[in-house]
A and B are shown apart, each in its own frame.
Chain A
Amino acid sequence: MNKLLNSQWLRPFIMIIMLLVLWDLAIRFFKVPAYLIPPPDKVVGQLIAEWPRLLKESSLTTYATLGGFALSILFGVPVAMLIAYSRLVESYVYPLLVFSQSIPKIAIAPLFVVWFGFGIIPKVICAFLLGFFPVVVSTVMGFKSIEPEMIDLARSMGSTRWQMFYKISLPQALPSMFSGFKVSITLAVVGAVVGEFVGSNSGIGYVLQIANGNFDLPLMFAALVVLSLIGVILFVVIDAIEKMMIPWHPSYRNEFHASA
């Protein structure tokens, strides 16, 4: 029993169950009516009843999320490297990026439907716009915080530019980049749903709209749970990739020793 309680993967589930109980108690104690906040058992019931449909719709949302996230990396990392290596690019581009990030995406999302139609593209773009910025910021920081002594050392030993990048800069920047990727993927989920909200026949955003129209709060909360699950799963996947790519990082070293 004790061993079970101590296993890493079980802890979040214990926390979830504790939160569910707290939610239920709060509703009973404060007598919150079901039309304001649905009781957890109703939400779980709806989650089970509508599971096939939710699963189908969530796969569409996941595609849009992954598409947007891939674009974020494809554009974000090169842009960030240019910014990190060139003061000229930084002074021209960086302020503009920050400026663009302050535009509320929900305000311009309807325009994407006008420009790109009702397919998956506007959702991918929404996900990209939300996911792009954290990738850039953290990658810039990663490449800028490389110790100059290391570069000097490598140069004095006659390494090529490519070697310096591959053996010193990139490994040093990776931890920071990955923290940006993790923020980015969770935001990309939100972006995909915003895209579905403004124009779509499918996806979790569409389910949310229907649930809202029918005043089906349990279904709405169930859809939100599924949405969070997508975010969690994608986050875990990136975390695992990070572990494989930078096992030497202090945040993983401890586990390394324990399992060794």
Chain B
Amino acid sequence: MNDKRTTLKLLAGATVAALAFGSAPAMAQAKQKVSLMLNWYLYSEHAPFFLGKERGYFDAEGIDLDIQEGRGSGPTIQAVAAKSVDFGYADVGTMIKVGAKGAPVKAIGVALQKSPMSVMGLSEKNIRKPEDIKGKTVAVTPGDSMSQIWPLFLKKTGLKEGDFKTVAGDAQTKLNSVINGQADLLLGYLMDQNIKIQDATKKPVTVIPFADYGVNMVVSGIIANKDVLKDKPDLAKRFMRAATKAFEDAEKSPEAAVDAMLKANAKAGVRDSLIVGLKLTTPLYHTPETAKNRPFRVAPKDMNESFTMLLEYGGLDKSAGKVEDYYTNEFLP
């Protein structure tokens, strides 16, 4: 008896609700669920997406954006290739390698066009220029993009493998070894490991960016599935329109971007460190070639350089084809 009454009430309620919503114009234009998978757990670099969400740029394009954390660029790109997610935010170099193996993926916007790759150590070790690396110990992660480009940096700066000692370990070991003094330097990103070392040791860190010595490589970008680009070019255009606005805003007010990310996920990190990180990240949105461009619009020259570097040092197969197969600016505003 009681059950029946409840059912009736529910039915009545549902009818009222349906009537109310049915009359609203929002019903006619339902927002599209779109998923973006990041390259890693949340850190400063990801804040602009949250700013764009908070300021309604994605909503305005009819996109209900779902931001998912990732576990490395490789798996994120695989997820895009398998259409498990709509877009990915991942390392473009890695994407080219996966693409060369037959994955139908393409970069439709390159966020970090200047390379954050660096070799860094505590300032008290007095390592300020490449020659100072001689006789020191460098921590690397075997197989990652930095360790692959490292030989080119050595060549450009006149160093040889035998000039220093190398220790190898995963991302955490690399950090630990510099913090604990087992290594003097590590290969890392200039908006990532240096902040972590500084936070842990309370000592300043000196960074030697690869880009300062003519070794530049594009890094993170928006990755999409080629089939999706063919079927829904409009979605890619709308997504990039919103993302471009979001990244422009983040360049102007990194604090607001970090706050937006922390509001969405309080565990993303320490506010001050995230702001420092993002302030180091936004200058990487442009190279001298693209200084006047809006974010994401990469220069063919920069892409070509990166592609050549991948062929020569990054283990990319010679059958990989042309760089134009792997990126496009046509979906950008």
Contact = CB atoms under 8 A, between A and B. Distances in A.
Contact of A206 (B101, B168, B172, B315): B168
B262 to A, nearest CB: 25
Contacts of A211: 143
Given A35-B103, A197-B170, A110 B176 contact: yes
B148 interface: yes
> Is chain B's interface secondary structure helix, strand, loop, or mixed overall?
mixed
Given A113-B169, A114-B180, A206-B168, A35 B102 contact: yes
A113 B176 CA distance: 8
A68 interface: no
Interface in B63-102: 74, 78, 81-82, 94, 97-98, 101-102
Interface residues of B, number: 29
B142 A209 contact: yes
Most A CB within 10 A of own CB, among B81, B97, B102, B142: B142
A214 interface: yes
Contacts of A111: 176
Most A CB within 10 A of own CB, among B74, B82, B103, B170: B170
Nearest to A112: B173
A34 B101 contact: yes
B290 interface: no
B225 to A, nearest CB: 12
A241 interface: no
Contacts of A33: 81, 102-103
Contact of A215 (B94, B170, B176, B177): B94
Contacts of A217: 101
A118 interface: yes
A200 B174 CA distance: 11
B118 interface: no
Interface of A: 33-36, 110-111, 113-114, 117-118, 197-201, 206, 209-217
14 contacts: A34-B101, A35-B103, A36-B78, A36-B82, A114-B180, A198-B170, A198-B172, A198-B173, A199-B177, A200-B169, A206-B168, A211-B143, A213-B142, A213-B144
* For the complex of A and B, 5 pairs with smallest distance between CB atoms: A213-B143, A199-B169, A210-B143, A110-B172, A35-B103
